Structure 1
Amino acid sequence: MKRNYWPLFFIGIFGFVFSMIVWTVKSAVSVPVIEDKSFMKKYQEVDENYNDMMTSNDVFLAKYDFEIDINDKKLDLTTSDIKFSQRVIEKYSEHKNILKIGQNTLKVIVIDKITKEKKDITIELEVSKTISANSDLILQNEQFHNNDKVFTSLFEIKDETNWIITGSFKVDENTGYIYIKTNAI
């Protein structure tokens, strides 16, 4: 009598596929999940309100002159880096090498375009690594020194890696959002 090996072949394929499913699930569960908190909000909220946030930036910039100074590099209220990958930023960004290992200074000034007076700001910023959330720095008004409505903060960066600076600035009822990808050298 001739033996039929086809059932063993199918059992072998089934066993291999089942073991690959188990391995995939086990590998996926062991990888940490880092929730995106762009603009200090959950990604679902950003996704739902992105157009309103960008319109809010336009309104904010129409009413106020905004300047953020990070380690003596002056920047605007920008979200342009949100569409770039980190590799593109490393090669072509004007925001490259803004941060440095050790102490960093951040200064924020908002001036009303009509009255030319400096305004009080409610600041919510996060300086975060692109690969993990264990070194996130939350910078709010409590971490800023207010000297005649020039808000200055010192913060420390310990790792030479890629960083994201994101958050919002609220003046009166107007909110401006920022999103900068950079690296520390």
Structure 2
Amino acid sequence: MAKNSGKTYWPHMILGFLVLGITLSYWTVKSASSIPVQESNQYMLKYQMADMNINQIMEKRKAFDTAYAIHLLDVETMVMTDNVNSNRPQPNPVKLSQGMNAFTYDVVTKEGTSVSDANVTFLLTRPHSRSEDQLFKNIPYVNGKYRVTDVNITKAGRYTLQLRAEVGDTMGYSEVSAYLKP
């Protein structure tokens, strides 16, 4: 019988692959848990609430859009060049100023008459973060307009101006991009 004096390394390889797999699994979980997760605030609601009630939200929005309109008034926009690689034109964002800002909205019927009994809520948010959200509820109706005052903006970058107007059983939304230059 031949004597096999060569060493076999396959048990060491199996043990090495097992240690490598456990190390990579630990690294994946650790790096994934260190990235902050931001909830969506589409329709000015938590994601779960918007997801559960999306059919009612869409019906109320459709009813609002057939009877009413929301307009952002007296704002300066930035002229942006269109992306040549995109077929979708981008609207010009509202130009924000450092410090206190004010926004005026008009909620009107399709005939052009102002709606004075709307329940209006305003939210200033950043596109991918909820940490700096500023929510203003029950915006007052003054001189035929809904005016949001004392919106303090300190950091430069992209923002979104969101407005929700509830008139009776209908609910309308306005979402306008804005930008504060550094």
Same fold (TM over 0.5): yes
1:183 counterpart = 2:179: yes
1:108 counterpart = 2:108: no
Q: Secondary structure at the match of 1:133?
A: strand
Kindly indicate whether the alpha-carbon contact (under 8 Å) linking 2:160 and 2:177 is maintained by their aligned counterparts in 1.
yes
Cα offset, 1:145, TM superposition: 4.5
Aligned residues: 168
Structure with greater Cα Rg: 2
Kindly indicate whether the alpha-carbon contact (under 8 Å) linking 1:162 and 1:183 is maintained by their aligned counterparts in 2.
yes
The structure-2 alpha-carbon separation of the partners of 1:70 and 1:13, relative to structure 1 and needing over 3 Å to count, comes to farther
Aligned-residue Cα RMSD (Å) equals 2.8
Distance 2:66 2:40 in 1: 29
Match of 2:96 in 1: 99
Q: Secondary structure at the match of 1:128?
A: strand
The structure-2 alpha-carbon separation of the partners of 1:167 and 1:2, relative to structure 1 and needing over 3 Å to count, comes to farther
The structure-2 alpha-carbon separation of the partners of 1:99 and 1:32, relative to structure 1 and needing over 3 Å to count, comes to same
Unmatched runs of 5 consecutive residues or more in structure 1: 74-87
Cα offset, 1:153, TM superposition: 1.4
Match of 2:169 in 1: 173
The structure-2 alpha-carbon separation of the partners of 1:182 and 1:117, relative to structure 1 and needing over 3 Å to count, comes to closer
The structure-2 alpha-carbon separation of the partners of 1:10 and 1:36, relative to structure 1 and needing over 3 Å to count, comes to same
Residue from 153, 157, 160 that aligns with 1:161 = 157
Match of 2:82 in 1: none
Distance 1:125 1:29 in 2: 32
Match of 1:66 in 2: 70
Whose helix proportion is higher, 1 or 2?
Answer: 1
Kindly indicate whether the alpha-carbon contact (under 8 Å) linking 1:109 and 1:150 is maintained by their aligned counterparts in 2.
yes
Runs of 4+ in 1 over 6 A off after TM superposition: none
Distance 1:105 1:31 in 2: 34
Q: Secondary structure at the match of 2:130?
A: coil
With normalisation by structure 1, the TM-score equals 0.75
The structure-2 alpha-carbon separation of the partners of 1:103 and 1:8, relative to structure 1 and needing over 3 Å to count, comes to same
Match of 1:150 in 2: 145
Matches within 5 A, 1:69-88: 69=73, 71-72=75-76
